[in-house]
């Protein structure tokens, strides 16, 4: 349908929801040139890219390295010149990058060099406006007080007769600052560039946030997000545009790159637009690029509303994107998995096949004398279903050699089997160049139900942040999704239905050592994800003795978790930067002080 707008300025906004790689300044710049070209071909009047897209995000301690800061600043100037050379000089482009404060003076408690999480407007081959993030997050995975100093301006750029206020990520998530300042500046559009990591259920929170901020700012609000992955973080895209009343105008797809082009009906910039100080002591910095409105045209893009993923598909997609990014961005081509026939390695194998292609996934069955015939058969069945590369290497001869030399018993004997498998996987990895994927889930990692230098061996843990109950649910979803598409379900039904077992001794099942997983995971969610104490967890209806036992297991396993590889974060608090506890720790929940 063609929509004709009249009487007010029109603006075609191109939001480029893209992936970038930390440290790859040249590659990221090239990507932005390509997407700017695409935006120009769509007739855009204003183009935007995510937070710190030029450097990648998060840069962590690279922000404290002056050589990297200067390289970012130089790359920004080069990008501005390159865009002009390509014929896009008159098209304003908003870019996130790493800068430093020119006013920064060394002082105690401030990051050395006063680096800033910054944005810039490129136009006419020049950097015409720069600004820095005002609100700096200091929770969860964010350490921005460690790395950056805040900005103190309210940047406003006038494009085709419309005043566009600019913000960066946390500027929307925190009250005050640039949102009310955008209203005070009488902006027609608030554009926020973001690198907001994915968390389960965050898309609903994000939508309500953007709606609320649009109403507070009193103007149409565009929330541009990053996609892709960086180490343990996944960025899910989900860029959103809402009008001043909070009604959704456009919403981008999740977990994929996209250019969202939307025609906006916006108020003309006021002739007496405010200058000077506004809310929170922010100083309006206004740059006029073009006063004349765009000649009236028939709007052809309402932006669209991408279909939302259901909860299980959303989490599974995050795990696929996280693994794919880690493999590709670190220069690897193939992955190696120990296949036990159990649910964890089966789910990891399915994720790997979806992430890098079955032809690049190598599975190894490493049976011992305690391995059941059905587990060996389930591993082979998984290989047939997925088409991954498969081989069998029994560990019994190696195990017998160790036992003949050491005479181990009990737990030492059980763990030896796991460590032999880890050694075998690393030997194949060294020989053939695959990276090993660790199959441990969040429930096991929480209570220490994993063997150091055994099933913890690997370069990446795809389900490190997935509780066991969710492992089963995701496996069932993946099989159901395959069946709905007329494909072969990748995970053998027997791997889902049989009782979980490490198979390190005759008749062993996980519940010999652990509570039933639904109960265990409910306790762990309260303790690990929500930081509830023992008394609060008991008050929620759980047995006091079981709570005390579970929490002791969690506390004692901290040293193991520190040695586990990185893995995709999908929860509000994963085992990594989110949750930082001392290894040497005398405090025990439920024990009187």
The larger pLDDT score, comparing residue 261 to residue 579, is at 261
Same domain, residue pair 149 and 288? yes
For 525, which DSSP code?
I
**What is the arithmetic mean of pLDDT over 351-373?**
91
Our count of domains for the chain comes to: 2
Quick check: is 385 in a domain? Answer: yes
In the predicted structure, residue 79 carries a pLDDT above the cut 80? yes
Q: Return mean pLDDT, the chain.
A: 90
Which range has the worst mean pLDDT, 62-76, 233-247, 493-507? 493-507
Same domain, residue pair 264 and 407? no
User: Would you say 30 and 271 are in contact if contact means Cβ atoms under 8 Å apart?
Assistant: no
Containing 325, the helix (H) or strand (E) segment is: helix 311-329
Q: What is the pLDDT of residues 430-481, one digit of tens each?
A: 999 999 999 999 999 999 988 889 888 999 999 999 999 999 999 999 999 9
In the predicted structure, residue 582 carries a pLDDT above the cut 90? no
**What percentage of the chain carries pLDDT values higher than 90?**
70
The tokens for 231 are: 């180490």
**What percentage of the chain carries pLDDT values higher than 70?**
95
| pLDDT of amino acid 3 | 36
User: Would you say 159 and 121 are in contact if contact means Cβ atoms under 8 Å apart?
Assistant: no
197 torsion bin: left (phi>0), alpha (psi -120 to 50), beta (else): beta
- Report d(CA 118, CA 75) in Å as an integer: 13
**What is the arithmetic mean of pLDDT over 372-387?**
88
Same domain, residue pair 284 and 353? no
In the predicted structure, residue 8 carries a pLDDT above the cut 80? no
In the predicted structure, residue 511 carries a pLDDT above the cut 90? no
In the predicted structure, residue 508 carries a pLDDT above the cut 80? no
Q: 592: pLDDT confidence band, cut at 50, 70 and 90?
A: low
User: Residues with Cβ < 8 Å from 472, sequence gap 6 or more?
Assistant: 343, 496
- Report d(CA 12, CA 135) in Å as an integer: 28
Same domain, residue pair 80 and 182? yes
Same domain, residue pair 252 and 317? no
Residue 370 sits at the vertex; the CA angle it makes with 368 and 372, to the nearest 5 degrees, is 100
Same domain, residue pair 321 and 283? no
In the predicted structure, residue 345 carries a pLDDT above the cut 60? yes
Pick from 473, 490, 509: which residue ends a domain?
509
| pLDDT of amino acid 222 | 96
**What is the arithmetic mean of pLDDT over 297-326?**
88
Q: What is the domain extent for residue 28?
A: 13-295
Q: What CATH number should be reported for the domain holding residue 96?
A: 3.60.110.10
The tokens for 178 are: 């640039």
Long-range contacts, stretch 142-146, CB < 8 angstroms, 24+ apart: 142/58, 142/170, 143/60, 143/577, 144/117, 144/170, 146/111
Same domain, residue pair 118 and 187? yes
Quick check: is 584 in a domain? Answer: no
Quick check: is 562 in a domain? Answer: no
Q: 233: pLDDT confidence band, cut at 50, 70 and 90?
A: very high
Same domain, residue pair 320 and 269? no
In the predicted structure, residue 5 carries a pLDDT above the cut 50? no
Q: 510: pLDDT confidence band, cut at 50, 70 and 90?
A: low
Within 225-274, strands assigned E span 227-230, 233-236, 240-242, 248-251, 258-265
Same domain, residue pair 127 and 211? yes
The larger pLDDT score, comparing residue 592 to residue 196, is at 196
| pLDDT of amino acid 502 | 59
| pLDDT of amino acid 110 | 77
**What is the arithmetic mean of pLDDT over 172-176?**
90
In the predicted structure, residue 588 carries a pLDDT above the cut 90? no
Q: 1: pLDDT confidence band, cut at 50, 70 and 90?
A: very low
| pLDDT of amino acid 225 | 96
- Report d(CA 15, CA 94) in Å as an integer: 10
Same domain, residue pair 266 and 386? no
Quick check: is 6 in a domain? Answer: no
| pLDDT of amino acid 12 | 94
| pLDDT of amino acid 506 | 65
- Report d(CA 56, CA 235) in Å as an integer: 12
The larger pLDDT score, comparing residue 366 to residue 142, is at 366
Quick check: is 248 in a domain? Answer: yes
Q: Where are the alpha helices (DSSP H) in 340-467?
A: 343-356, 373-386, 396-406, 410-432, 442-447
Which range has the worst mean pLDDT, 230-244, 267-281, 528-542? 267-281
| Owner of token pair 């795990």 | 319
Quick check: is 28 in a domain? Answer: yes
Quick check: is 402 in a domain? Answer: yes
Catalytic site residues?
Answer: 51, 133, 169
**What is the arithmetic mean of pLDDT over 265-279?**
85
Quick check: is 342 in a domain? Answer: yes
Closest CA relative to residue 224, chosen from 264, 193, 262: 193
Q: 591: pLDDT confidence band, cut at 50, 70 and 90?
A: low
Pick from 456, 490, 509: which residue ends a domain?
509
Pick from 265, 295, 325: which residue ends a domain?
295
| pLDDT of amino acid 498 | 81
Same domain, residue pair 144 and 257? yes
Q: What is the pLDDT of residues 402-420, one digit of tens each?
A: 888 888 888 888 889 889 9
Cα–Cα separations (whole angstroms), residue 152 to 93, 187, 220, 273 = 22, 18, 23, 19
Q: What CATH number should be reported for the domain holding residue 431?
A: 3.40.50.620
For 562, which DSSP code?
H
User: Residues with Cβ < 8 Å from 529, sequence gap 6 or more?
Assistant: 571, 572, 573
| pLDDT of amino acid 301 | 62
Same domain, residue pair 413 and 449? yes
The tokens for 48 are: 């935007």
In the predicted structure, residue 2 carries a pLDDT above the cut 60? no
User: Residues with Cβ < 8 Å from 71, sequence gap 6 or more?
Assistant: 25
């Amino acid at each position: 349908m063609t929509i004709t707008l009249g009487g007010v300025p029109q603006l075609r906004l191109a939001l480029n929801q893209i992936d970038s790689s930390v440290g790859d300044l040249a590659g990221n710049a090239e990507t932005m040139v390509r997407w700017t070209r695409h935006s120009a071909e769509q007739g855009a009047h204003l183009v935007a890219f995510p937070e710190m897209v030029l450097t990648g995000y998060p840069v962590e301690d690279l922000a404290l390295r002056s050589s990297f800061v200067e390289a970012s600043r130089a790359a920004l100037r080069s990008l501005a010149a390159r865009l002009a050379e390509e014929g896009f000089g008159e098209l304003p482009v908003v870019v996130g990058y790493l800068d430093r404060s020119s006013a920064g003076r060394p002082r105690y408690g401030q990051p050395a060099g006063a680096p800033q999480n910054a944005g810039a407007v490129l136009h006419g081959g020049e950097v015409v406006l720069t600004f820095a993030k005002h609100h700096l997050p200091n929770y969860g995975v964010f350490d921005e007080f460690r790395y950056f100093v805040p900005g103190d301006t309210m940047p406003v750029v006038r494009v085709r007769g419309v005043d566009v206020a600019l913000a960066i990520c946390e500027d929307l998530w925190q009250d005050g600052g640039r949102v009310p300042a955008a209203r005070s500046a009488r902006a027609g559009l608030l554009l926020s560039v973001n690198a907001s990591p994915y968390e389960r259920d965050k898309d609903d929170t994000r939508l309500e946030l953007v709606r609320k901020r649009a109403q507070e700012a009193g103007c149409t609000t565009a929330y541009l997000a990053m996609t892709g992955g960086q180490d343990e973080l996944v960025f899910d895209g989900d860029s959103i545009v809402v009008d001043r009343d909070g009604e959704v105008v456009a919403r981008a797809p999740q977990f994929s790159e996209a250019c969202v082009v939307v025609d906006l009906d916006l108020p003309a910039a006021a002739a007496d637009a405010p200058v000077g100080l506004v809310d929170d002591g922010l100083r309006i910095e206004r740059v006029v690029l073009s006063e004349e409105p765009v000649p009236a045209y028939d709007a052809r893009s309402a932006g669209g509303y991408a279909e939302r993923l259901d909860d299980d598909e959303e989490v599974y997609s995050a795990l696929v994107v996280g693994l794919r990014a880690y493999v590709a961005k670190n220069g690897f081509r193939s992955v190696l998995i120990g296949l036990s026939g159990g649910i964890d390695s089966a789910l990891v194998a399915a994720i790997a096949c979806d992430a890098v292609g079955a032809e690049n996934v190598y599975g190894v069955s490493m049976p011992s004398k305690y391995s059941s015939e059905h587990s060996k058969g389930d591993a082979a069945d998984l290989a047939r279903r997925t088409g991954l590369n498969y081989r069998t290497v029994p560990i019994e001869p190696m195990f017998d050699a160790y036992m003949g030399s050491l005479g181990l018993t009990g737990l030492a004997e059980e763990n030896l089997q796991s460590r032999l498998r880890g050694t075998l996987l690393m030997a194949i990895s060294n020989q053939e160049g695959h990276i090993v994927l660790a199959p441990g889930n969040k429930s096991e990692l929480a209570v220490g139900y994993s063997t150091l230098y055994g099933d913890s061996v690997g370069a990446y843990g795809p389900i490190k942040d997935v509780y066991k109950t969710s492992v089963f649910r995701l496996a069932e979803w993946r099989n159901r999704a395959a069946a709905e598409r007329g494909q072969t379900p990748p995970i053998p039904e027997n791997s889902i239905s049989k009782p979980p077992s490490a198979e390190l001794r005759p008749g062993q099942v996980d519940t010999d050592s652990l509570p039933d997983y639904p109960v265990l995971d409910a306790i762990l969610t309260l303790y690990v994800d929500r930081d509830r104490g023992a008394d609060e967890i008991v008050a929620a209806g759980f047995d006091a003795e079981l709570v005390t036992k579970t929490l002791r297991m969690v506390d004692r396993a901290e040293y193991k978790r520190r040695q586990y590889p990185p893995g995709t974060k999908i929860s509000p608090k994963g085992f990594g930067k989110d949750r930082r506890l001392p290894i040497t720790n005398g405090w025990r929940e439920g024990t009187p002080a």
